[in-house]
Amino acid sequence: MRMKNSLPGALRAGIALLAVALASPGHSQQTPVPPLAGAANAPEIRAQIRARQHTTLSAEMAGKIVELPLRDGEIFKKGDRLVGFDCGAQRARQEQAAAAVQAASRKREVSTKLNQLNSISQLEVATAESAEAQARAELALAGVLVQRCVINAPYDGRVADVQVQRYAFAAEGAPLLSLYDNSQYDIEMIVPSSWLSWLKPGISFRVRIEETGGDHAAEITRLSGAVDPVSQSVRVYGRIKGPIENLRPGMSGSALLSPGQTP
């Protein structure tokens, strides 16, 4: 007597179709990213984009912020006004110091004329000259305080972070804006220190940036001055040879380096 198959026909057909689908060459988890073009056995090294010039501007005085024209991500030119403080008190002190210089200058002129007539002592002349010099120094200090009311851009660049709001009161030394020079970036890599036997400035390599998916030609610009004794590694810096408008500091990717590559 033959045993009847306990599985219904529809279920057996479904299992068969699933097995065929799993065995099909087209079934895959994810399409792999193609490797960088270059030497077949060359290792890929992690690389990160860093701004060569970057800084966080801080308040040189305590005061209320009345000008804050730029927002995160916006571009500026060297000399553009980035931050402006309420400077009424500082300008009033500057005017007061300027008036004091005028008065001291006139007194010194009178003392000089009286000295020519032998109607005043040398000590009184010297005192008048000293008072004028002190008044001019006070005026110069007042001018410095007025200059601190405005912060101008030190170079062409882009705003990376805005840490204050307009009309807020900022304490002296408080961070205001983070910015960087967007005209030049460094590629930073960590490689085995044994590579120092062949690695040197001028060597060309390729780098792929993950965020953009683009490949870029690059070259080594400098090597770190010290080797990490624990990991036996060394930092290496390079630059991208070509357009960098779509890049940002903090982007990362893979660099392809090999001894066979030449400057």
Distance, CA of 116 to CA of 107 (rounded, Å): 14
| Number of Cβ within a 10 Å radius of residue 242 | 9
Cα(50)–Cα(186) distance, integer angstroms: 5
Question: What's the mean pLDDT when you consider all of the chain?
Answer: 85
CA 26 from centre of chain: 46
pLDDT per residue over 82-120, tens digit each? 999 999 999 999 999 999 999 999 999 999 888 888 888
Say which residue, 95 or 13, is predicted with more confidence: 95
Give the C-alpha separation, 236 to 201, whole Å: 9
Using an 8 Å Cβ cutoff, are 76 and 201 in contact? no
Nearest to 202, CA basis, from 225, 189, 221: 221
Looking at residues 18-36, what average pLDDT do you find?
44
The C-alpha R_g of the chain, in whole angstroms, comes to: 35
Q: Is the pLDDT of residue 62 over 60?
A: yes
Q: Return d(Cα 86, Cα 64) in angstroms, integer.
A: 6
pLDDT at 118 (0 to 100): 84
Mean pLDDT (whole number) for 129-136: 94
Q: What is the pLDDT of residue 42?
A: 59
Percent of the chain with pLDDT over 90: 72
pLDDT digits (tens, 9 = 90+) for 233-258: 999 999 999 889 899 999 999 998 87
pLDDT of residue 237: 96
Number of residues assigned to the chain? 263
Residue (of 197, 262, 263, 254) closest to 37 by Cα position: 254
Q: In angstroms, rounded to a whole number, what is the distance separating the alpha carbons of residues 113 and 116?
A: 5
Answer with the residue of higher pLDDT: 129 or 16.
129
Confidence of residue 261 (pLDDT cuts 50, 70, 90): low
CB neighbours (10 Å) of residue 37? 9
Predicted TM-score of the model (pTM): 0.69
Q: Which two tokens stand for residue 2?
A: 């033959």
The correct CATH number of 44-52+184-256 out of 2.60.120.1310, 1.10.1660.10, 2.40.30.170, 1.10.3720.10 is: 2.40.30.170
Whether the CB-CB separation of 84 and 149 falls below 8 Å is answered with yes
Query: Could you count the other beta carbons within 10 Å of the beta carbon of residue 182?
Result: 21
Question: Has residue 263 got a pLDDT over 90?
Answer: no
**Beta strand 215-223 pairing with 81-85:** unpaired
> What integer pLDDT is reported at residue 30 of this predicted model?
37
Query: What percent of the residues of the chain are helix, what percent strand, and what percent coil, each to the nearest 5?
Result: 30, 30, 40
* pLDDT value of residue 66: 97
Q: Which sequence spans correspond to the domains of the chain? A: 44-52+184-256, 53-83+151-181, 87-148
CATH (one of 3.30.450.20, 2.40.50.100, 3.40.50.2300, 1.10.10.10) for 53-83+151-181: 2.40.50.100
β partners of residue 207: 216, 255
- Going by pLDDT thresholds of 50, 70 and 90, the confidence category of residue 23 is very low
| pLDDT tens, position by position, 179-238 | 999 998 999 999 999 999 999 999 999 999 999 999 999 999 999 999 999 999 999 999
